[in-house]
Chains A and B, each alone.
Chain A
Amino acid sequence: MEYFLTEQQKLIKSIARRIAEERILPVRAELDEKEEFPWEIIKDIANADLFRIFIPEQYEGMGEGSFALVIAVEELSRACAGVSLTYAADALGAFPILLYASEKQKQQYLPVIASGAKLTAFGLTESGAGSDAGAIKTTAKKDGDSYVLNGTKQFITNGGEAEIYTVIALTDPTKGSRGASAFIVEKGTPGFTFGKKEKKLGIRCSATRELVFHNCRIPKENLLGREGMGFIVTMKTLDSSRPGVGALALGLAQGALEAAVAYARQRVQFGHPVSSIQAVQHMLANMAMELEAARALVYATAKTIDSGAKNFTEEGAMAKVFATDMAMKVTTDAVQVFGGVGYMRDYPVEKMMRDAKINQIYEGTNQVLRNVIALELLRRKGLRE
């Protein structure tokens, strides 16, 4: 399929692919097994300037936008979704700053994010606030020239490894979600520590940790936007990041499809490669079709964002839900094509299947996002522009 990539986008794709094939592929099984954070690869990604692509040029980025980010995430994820997520979660943590920071805050944080010298993370979820994000309990109390944070964030990707955190906390607990505000908190701030590192089903090389705030005092200049904007910051951040989750799913499915096709061509049963069996061919054909449809949707969404669209909540949700449901199915089918050995850790497809599941859950479960899509759909009375 021709997606009309610019020269620059082709270059981003080829550089991300080289990192995936030369740096990630040889170590992905070991990273998964040891649940080891991929710092070496993150340095390679930084040296290749891939952290610059989603940061505007005036902050030492390359201003390539959402589509370029999608291409890079997809290529990295084709080799390992855990590594790719670490990269994508950095973009997630950067979006609140990109979207709502003051000029001074942007000057302070974006160049260092662009260089990849410091990773970022986004802290929203709490034990009592998953899909019901408005139920967060972490507070940020104004005290003179500071805010004092108290509470615990849960399941934070890049937690502990990142240096720059964008955190949502209540400045006015009486107002519920309208009392939420967004803050930048730097690692090392007194009162900011990390809780347990989660042991996960998949994406095991990515770090998932609690952020614990106990009388953590940050300067009032670290507020993003104004007080009470926390929920808007959250929604717009997630709208921007969801095509990236879709891209993660595309790469996973692409990797699984390639592995399944290669295996089906060489596995002999009944005297022929299993790829000559129509039942297997139809599975592979469905995998390829669904993947390509998802790719078209994710790419179109990213291009819509890059075109300057103001509201892309519905498109972002569709891209995320469709692509991640597809990836779950394609990776599961890849294991099926492999048969018994596919279930074994000697082959990569069981890892891909494990890695796929989380994509249907985080950054808005696929059920909650169907609510979001339906809401937008009903609002526009199902009509198309």
Chain B
Amino acid sequence: MNIIVCIKQVPGTTEIKIDPKTNTLVREGVKSIINPFDCYAVEEGVRLRERYGGKVSVITMGPPQAEEALRETISLGADEAILLSDRAFAGSDTWATSYVLSRAAAKIANYDLIICGKQTLDGDTAQVGPGVSEMLKIPFIAYVSKIEEIKDKYIKVQRMVEEGYEVIEATLPAVITVVKEINVPRLPSLRGTMKAKSAKIPVWNAAEIGVEADKAGIPGSPTRVVKIFYPKRTHKSEIFQGSLEEQVGQLAERLEKMV
């Protein structure tokens, strides 16, 4: 059972600051953490390894300092961790990120399962998990709250839906995204922390994973961020009147003005 877990290093705060010039997150002075949903993904990967044997490989795409997050996953039981880092990756949106991660998974090869957190704390899109599965052309299951069993190249899981859960089977290899209900992540162990301190974290660049330059980073990202801003705090409230269509029209008009 070889498992790949995709993680992201995110600012460990709910008070996100945005640089008005670049429309990107201000990371200075904010402690970075592993995206909390990804901690459940790492834990589930380690538990599956403990149950079925095999290996847990953690990957992240990010700047050199993301190595710190990868090291932490080793203290939590991961067997190896690989940093995907290249200037060509900078500015990737969820599409380009999914592409880069899928290339790395293809290079690792021989995987049975890819686990991601359901979404990140900063981007909140929940698009990268499904994106990776599309690019690898393998099945995808979102919001997994329990892995019931894995056998004969099949996985059977419970996935959260609005009213209760569904039980779904998929062939392996597959991609799943997990929710916090799936487990309680362990704390780092002494042996794991010592192993993490001396672990070698390989860095793979675009060429090494066969990423085509125009498919990653800003050139590879169809998303265009026009403007990011905080809504002004006002205590004025306004209730739109009229028919539903009229109300929607008024709302759309307002939103357009804000941008």
Contact = CB atoms under 8 A, between A and B. Distances in A.
A22 B188 CA distance: 12
Interface stretch (A42-50, A146-154, A278-286): A42-50
Contact of B186 (A12, A44, A50, A53): A44
A49 B189 contact: yes
Contact of B190 (A15, A22, A44): A15
A44 to B, nearest CB: 6
B188 A15 contact: yes
A158 to B, nearest CB: 22
Contact of B191 (A19, A44, A49): A49
B229 to A, nearest CB: 36
B193 A47 contact: no
Interface in A18-37: 18-19, 22-23
Contacts of A12: 190
A52 B191 CA distance: 10
A60 B99 CA distance: 43
Nearest to A52: B190
Contacts of B188: 15, 18, 48
B190 A62 contact: yes
A231 B193 CA distance: 40
Interface centre among B187, B191, B193, B194 (most CB of A within 10 A): B187
A11 interface: yes
B12 to A, nearest CB: 15
A57 B38 CA distance: 33
A18 B187 contact: yes
A15 B192 CA distance: 11
Nearest to A72: B190
Contacts of A53: 190
A15 B193 CA distance: 10
**Chain A interface mostly helix, strand, loop or mixed?**
helix
Contacts of A18: 187-188
B36 to A, nearest CB: 13
A12 B188 CA distance: 11
A44 B190 CA distance: 12
Interface in B151-200: 186-194
Interface in A42-76: 44, 47-50, 52-53, 62
Nearest to A11: B193
B182 to A, nearest CB: 17
Contacts of B193: 11, 15
Nearest to B188: A15
B67 to A, nearest CB: 19
A148 B189 CA distance: 41
Contacts of A23: 187
A48 B194 CA distance: 12
A16 to B, nearest CB: 10
Nearest to A23: B187
A71 to B, nearest CB: 12
A52 B189 CA distance: 11
With a 10 A CB-CB cut-off, give which of A12, A48, A52 has the most chain B CB atoms.
A48
B188 to A, nearest CB: 7
Contacts of A49: 189-192
A70 to B, nearest CB: 16
A50 B191 CA distance: 10
B184 to A, nearest CB: 9
A50 B190 contact: yes
B189 A22 contact: no
Interface in A109-149: none
A155 B188 CA distance: 34
Contacts of A11: 190, 193-194
Contacts of B190: 11-12, 15, 48-50, 52-53, 62
A22 B187 contact: yes
B190 to A, nearest CB: 4
Contacts of A22: 187
A44 B189 CA distance: 9
Nearest to A44: B187
A62 B191 CA distance: 9
Nearest to A50: B190
B6 to A, nearest CB: 24
Nearest to B191: A49
Contacts of A48: 186-190
B189 A19 contact: no
A234 B191 CA distance: 32
Q: Which of A12, A49, A62 has the most CB of B within 10 A?
A: A49
A139 to B, nearest CB: 42
A52 to B, nearest CB: 7
A49 B192 CA distance: 9
A11 B190 CA distance: 7
A52 B194 CA distance: 14
A50 B189 CA distance: 8
Contacts of B186: 44, 47-48
Contacts of A62: 190-191
Contacts of B192: 49
A44 B186 CA distance: 7
A23 B189 CA distance: 14
A11 B197 CA distance: 12
A54 B189 CA distance: 15
Interface of B: 186-194
Given A49-B192, A62-B191, 10 more contacts: A11-B193, A11-B194, A12-B190, A15-B187, A15-B189, A15-B190, A18-B187, A47-B189, A48-B189, A49-B189
The 8 closest A-B pairs by CB, nearest first: A49-B190, A49-B189, A48-B189, A49-B191, A47-B186, A18-B187, A48-B187, A11-B193
25 contacts: A11-B190, A11-B193, A11-B194, A12-B190, A15-B187, A15-B188, A15-B189, A15-B190, A15-B193, A22-B187, A23-B187, A44-B186, A48-B186, A48-B187, A48-B188, A48-B189, A48-B190, A49-B189, A49-B190, A49-B191, A49-B192, A52-B190, A52-B191, A53-B190, A62-B191
